[in-house]
Structure 1
Amino acid sequence: MSLQQTLDAFKADFKAGRPPYHAPPEIHPVMERATAELIASGQAGRAIKAGERAPQFSLNDQNGQPVSSADLLAQGPLVVTFYRGVWCPYCNIELQALNEILPQIRSLGANVVAISPQTSVNSRKSVRENGLGFPVLSDAKGTTGAAFGLRFALPDYLVALYRKLKNDLPAFNDDPSWTLPMPARYVIGQDGIVLYSEVNPDYTHRPEPADMIPVLEKAAGRS
């Protein structure tokens, strides 16, 4: 089953309220409205894309250790995935799918990092619960997400819904701003230029991890 098929199956179960999901049905139109408005805003089209220079970053991993994009790019190409947080089941499914092809990515000389605005404590939970073999970096206040053009503010009605559901983003992220990054995945070449980019304001849609492999093969001189 592809990543998107897995996500679609989860979405169908979630909307149908099948166990173990017990979300009230009235939440779905609210979430769909917010997604539609984010799509209509055109922000995804203004984010960093293939052919542009990637912003540099240095962020702490789940153990509080600094990880620098410059240091990683000195070793080879870099795969970067931005995601909302450990509280997001769609994000966890995607991280697991990336982890499945991690050996193939590393065989091509590349590294992988995930970036989320969540705290290091929650990043440790992401690594532990998803069995990840790559680091999860904490993007305090969403500054790196903003540099990539991904950070957006949740509309007031969605904030109200999240509060009702006890999805406390200020606590998850240690940031009162109620902001998140649009899910995105990048392959950055050793010269800092983005070789591959996928940005989707619809958090229920994610690109297939295998889509990056031809890009990484070319970067490795093996195409």
Structure 2
Amino acid sequence: MSLQARLDAFKADFRAGKPPYNAPPDIHPVMERATDELIASGQAGRALKAGDRAPAFTLRGPDGEAVSSADLLAKGPLVVTFYRGVWCPYCNMELQALQEALPAIAAEGASLVAISPQNPVNSRKSVRQNQLGFPILSDEHNAVAHAFGLRFALPGYLVELYKKLGNDLPTVNGDPSWTLPMPARYVIGQDGVILYSEVNPDYTHRPEPSDLLPVLRQARATA
């Protein structure tokens, strides 16, 4: 089953309020309103895309270690996925799918990291729960997400809904701003130029991990 098919099945069960989700039906219009507004803002179209130069970054890994994009790019191409947090089931399903694809990504000489605003404690939890063989890096204040054009502020009505649902982002992230990155995936070439980008303001839609492989093969062939 494709990643998107799994996400669609989860979304259908969540909207139907099936156990174990038992989501109250009145939350769905609120979430959909926020997604529609983010789409209408056009921000996704202004984010960095293929052909742009990727910002360099150094972020903390789950164990507090410094992870540098320059060091990773010295070894080969870099796959970067922006991850909202351990509380987001769609994001966790995407990470699991990327983990399944990790051997194929590594076979093309590429590294894979996820970037999240959450603190290292929650990154360790994400790595453990999803059984990941790649790190989740902590992006304080969504600074790297902002450099890629992905950071957005949650509207007030969505903040209130998140609070009711127990999604306390200031605690999870160690940041009071109530900002998140739009889900996005990039392949960065060793020269720092973005070779592939997929940005979607609808967090329920994610590209297939297999979409990366032709790009990585081409990067390897031209290295």
Pairwise same-fold verdict (TM > 0.5): yes
d(CA) in 1 for partners of 2:74, 2:135:
17
Structure 2 counterparts to residues 3-152 of structure 1, below 5 A: 3-152=3-152
d(CA) in 2 for partners of 1:167, 1:218:
41
d(CA) in 2 for partners of 1:94, 1:165:
22
d(CA) in 2 for partners of 1:58, 1:72:
10
Deviations 1:30-86 (A, max 9, x none): 000000000000000000100000001000000000000000000000000001001
Query: For 1:114, what is the secondary structure of its paired residue?
Result: strand
**What is the CA distance between 1:107 and its match in structure 2?**
0.6
d(CA) in 2 for partners of 1:95, 1:33:
26
Percent sequence identity is 75
Partner residue of 1:169? Answer: 169
**What is the CA distance between 1:89 and its match in structure 2?**
0.1
Aligned residues: 222
AA at the equivalent of 1:205: H
Query: For 2:213, what is the secondary structure of its paired residue?
Result: helix
d(CA) in 2 for partners of 1:136, 1:169:
17
Aligned-residue RMSD, C-alpha:
0.6
**What is the CA distance between 1:164 and its match in structure 2?**
1.0
Structure 1 stretches of at least 4 aligned residues deviating more than 6 Å after TM superposition = none
Q: Which runs of 5+ in 2 are unaligned?
A: none
**What is the CA distance between 1:139 and its match in structure 2?**
0.2
Query: For 2:72, what is the secondary structure of its paired residue?
Result: helix
TM-score relative to the length of structure 2: 0.99
Partner residue of 2:198? Answer: 198
